[in-house]
Amino acid sequence: MSRDRHLVLIGPHAALCERARRAGVGVIVVDTPGRLTPEVIALADHVIATDYTDVTRTAELIAALGRDLDIVGALSLTEFGLIPVARISELLGLPDNPVEVVKRVRDKDLMRRRLAGDDRFSVPAALVSDRNELDRFLAEHPAPVVVKPHDGAGSMGVRLIDDGRIPDGLAYPLLAETYLDGREYSVEALSVGGAHTIIGITEKVLFDDSFVEQGHHFPAPLSDVDRALVHTYVRDFLDRIGLRDGLSHTEVILTREGPRAVETHTRNGGDHITDLVQMATGFDMLDAAVRIRAGLTAEVPAVPEPARAAVIRYFAPPAGTVREAYGAAAARYLPGVADLQLTVRPGDEVRPPRSSLDRVGYVMAVGADLDEARGHAETAMEAVVLTVE
């Protein structure tokens, strides 16, 4: 493969650069100077150190490189790079979802407005700018109600109002929407020209009294009927949103009335879901996304059925000061453990899990089925001594 074909990676991590190089594609890395790492720089053929949210300037810099290179696409899988890469692609005439679609996905209020009036996809919701507007929403739509930043990420600022009383300290504006009761799942998909391939469904496990994920199980333990129902729903939902190309990560609640979408993203899921999928099925989502965006293939490769199960579980210590933290190095070598990270040391503070940033480490494990994978993860977590006062 000629190295003349180049892919622009905006705000990338090293794994994405590795997939591009493995595919025989030249790599142009664009990121802010403070975020560029030696590992990413070493994998790049060209580096543009700039604030990529200045999309006009960034597009001009990429176009200048493009006079001597065949730039075939641009890709970002970081939350805050999604809108800039769509705008840059539009300016340069590169393939991507339309900017308005990516904005609709990033802004949950715009998404709810798009779905309003559709019985399959709509949820009573409103953007509230102060306490009085939230009071009016609660009067029309009694608790439980969820409030959250309309453009947030990582479960930051998500609160449940289950007794009708508005908590103090809310930062407006907020999106208020009716609480969806049921099991929560995330659905990974890869789309090409509006055709959506469902890669798999992951079951979520939340911390007590929180919307922050404590773990993920892949594949989700669903009946064949429910799995087919979720597959059909998510394909139709992506059509309704207008998403046509690239990876997507859609969060779904399976209610008594059927699936309901919480939100979606024009990227893969976080929390190592990509790794769980690959460990269970062998399917490399990042590689497929890179090859499609680089024009090396026009269709999604077949996704194998899971040959085993994979899980990730985050440590759940109480809030306080860490007094002891050891055993992680040995626990990494226990049966079934794929990875184990402990991110606190004695003296560090542990906060209640109000966002994904508050978590203090995880175990990834595999097994012949979910029970075995969960058992390996739990055994590894029990081998780690984490004392908090």
| Domains of the chain in sequence order | 5-96 (3.40.50.20), 124-178 (3.30.1490.20), 181-307 (3.30.470.20), 310-388 (3.30.470.20)
> What percent of the chain clears pLDDT 90, i.e. is strictly above it?
92
What residues have CB less than 8 Å from 232, skipping those under 6 apart?
Answer: none
pLDDT per residue, tens digit, the chain (389 aa), is: 344 899 999 998 899 999 999 999 999 999 999 999 999 999 999 999 999 999 999 999 999 999 989 999 999 999 999 999 999 999 999 999 999 999 999 999 999 999 999 999 999 999 999 999 999 999 999 899 999 999 877 677 899 999 889 988 899 999 999 999 999 999 999 999 999 999 999 999 999 888 999 999 999 999 999 999 999 999 999 999 999 999 999 999 999 999 999 999 999 999 999 999 999 999 999 999 999 999 999 999 999 999 999 999 999 999 999 999 999 999 999 999 999 999 999 999 999 998 899 999 999 999 999 999 999 999 999 999 999 99
β-pair type (174-178, 125-128): antiparallel
d(CA 129, CA 61): 39
pTM (predicted TM-score): 0.94
Identify which of 313, 311, 328 has the alpha carbon closest to the alpha carbon of residue 212. 313
Question: For the segment 136-154, what is each residue's pLDDT rounded down to a tens digit?
Answer: 999 999 899 999 999 877 6
Mean pLDDT score across all residues of the chain: 95
Look up residue 33 and give its DSSP letter: G
